[in-house]
Chains A and B, each alone.
Chain A
């Protein structure tokens, strides 16, 4: 469903993505792991053109975007068919929880307001935030904000949902509720590309795990294969390190 070829991104002289090839099937849940600074966030951001890749192609069903030739219309089309969940939530500060979820529907998809509101309320119910519908982000806990952030991404009805360490900025007490919500989304066979350091969660939810290092996908496979029988020494070293941190 999504087909990425030769995706390359440089910041100055540093090559952060070094020709990434990646295909994801519809309904597949792919988790990206890897050390800090290896380009995991940049990969997701390039798929959404929050960072503009220097070269490579991204094909999403019938939409093909060549990084070098991408027009503004291409970029908008790609963004409207993908959804991004940010590490720091990035909720619209001047919109309530409900309005955050409605925003894309009303402004971008031009849905009637009543319809968008109905959808937003349904999503709030699903995320367990019905009572906070009229709260502004500043009045919500981190876990609540991230659930709204995920709700905003769900509302779009995107073919591909991108999650960039959705629980890394949270106090430990809020991590569980966010992961639970992501599990429920995964159960519907929503296509997801998730960067996370939650190894247990990755193992549970992933159809496939990618290990990235130095701007490349070093190794990939089903979770059991990666977590139990990684072949690349870098993968093994990384997993050993995170396990001894107690995070897996």
Chain B
């Protein structure tokens, strides 16, 4: 056993930190897209549009039922063999797409559950004043469902940040990729990956704290 090379690690921190923006970029873009897609699917699952409902259920079932890594490989390495135009997609785009589809399937289920969890009286009151279904969803139901689902959705975001490390397998030089390259030169693999782990850990801890504050705020919301 040898001692940890702390100097090496400290030197590596700024290098890896330089890739944090890319990680956050992938996670943030995928999160926004996944939220949109998940909300649409959740609303569809509640009002059950004929035919479409079958597709949505299949989609959710597939993306929840298979590993993210397999999905990413399928998109990035597999699909271009069938659809030639997909060869132009770079690793970052493919990773964002994969994360979006994968997490939207999970988030659709939590948003659907939250929508169903909104008190019946809220639906009836909205109906009674003559709102259309779209108005009712946008103005009354989804805001309240969002409040119910928010803590879970933040958890998915945290999960998503960690999952961006899989972009490494698509040839993207993100935090993991950078650490791998550095370690390949120095043979200090343990130190390099430990730095990556700590940086992820700190990011997630900061987010968890933000999450706790958000929850406090949400609990007080609508209570003035």
- Chain B residues positioned under 8 Å from A79 (CB to CB): 127-130
Of the candidates B119, B129, B132, B224, the one having the most CB atoms from chain A within 10 angstroms of its own CB is B129
Q: Are A152 and B129 CB-contacts (below 8 A) given A86-B124, A92-B122? A: yes
Q: In angstroms, how far is the closest chain B Cβ from the Cβ of A98?
A: 12
Q: Are A94 and B144 CB-contacts (below 8 A) given A107-B135, A136-B224, A138-B223? A: yes
Q: Say if the beta carbon of A93 comes within 8 Å of chain B.
A: yes
Task: For chain A, residues 213 to 240, give those with C-beta under 8 angstroms from any C-beta of chain B.
Answer: none
Q: How far is the CA of A86 from the CA of B121 in the complex (A)?
A: 9
- Chain A residues positioned under 8 Å from B223 (CB to CB): 136, 138-139
Q: Are A135 and B224 touching (Cβ within 8 A)?
A: yes
Q: Are A104 and B129 CB-contacts (below 8 A) given A86-B121, A93-B122? A: yes
Residue of B125, B132, B221 touching A92 (CB-CB under 8 A)? B125
Q: In angstroms, how far is the closest chain B Cβ from the Cβ of A84?
A: 4
Q: How far is the CA of A104 from the CA of B128 in the complex (A)?
A: 10
Q: Are A86 and B125 CB-contacts (below 8 A) given A79-B130, A93-B119, A134-B224? A: yes
Interface footprint category on A: 20 to 34
- Chain B residues positioned under 8 Å from A93 (CB to CB): 119, 122, 144, 222
Closest to B128 in A: A84
Closest to A155 in B: B129
Q: Say if the beta carbon of B143 comes within 8 Å of chain A.
A: yes
Q: Are B224 and A139 touching (Cβ within 8 A)?
A: yes
Q: Say if the beta carbon of B131 comes within 8 Å of chain A.
A: yes
Q: Are A50 and B124 CB-contacts (below 8 A) given A108-B131, A136-B223, A152-B129? A: yes
Q: In angstroms, how far is the closest chain A Cβ from the Cβ of B5?
A: 55
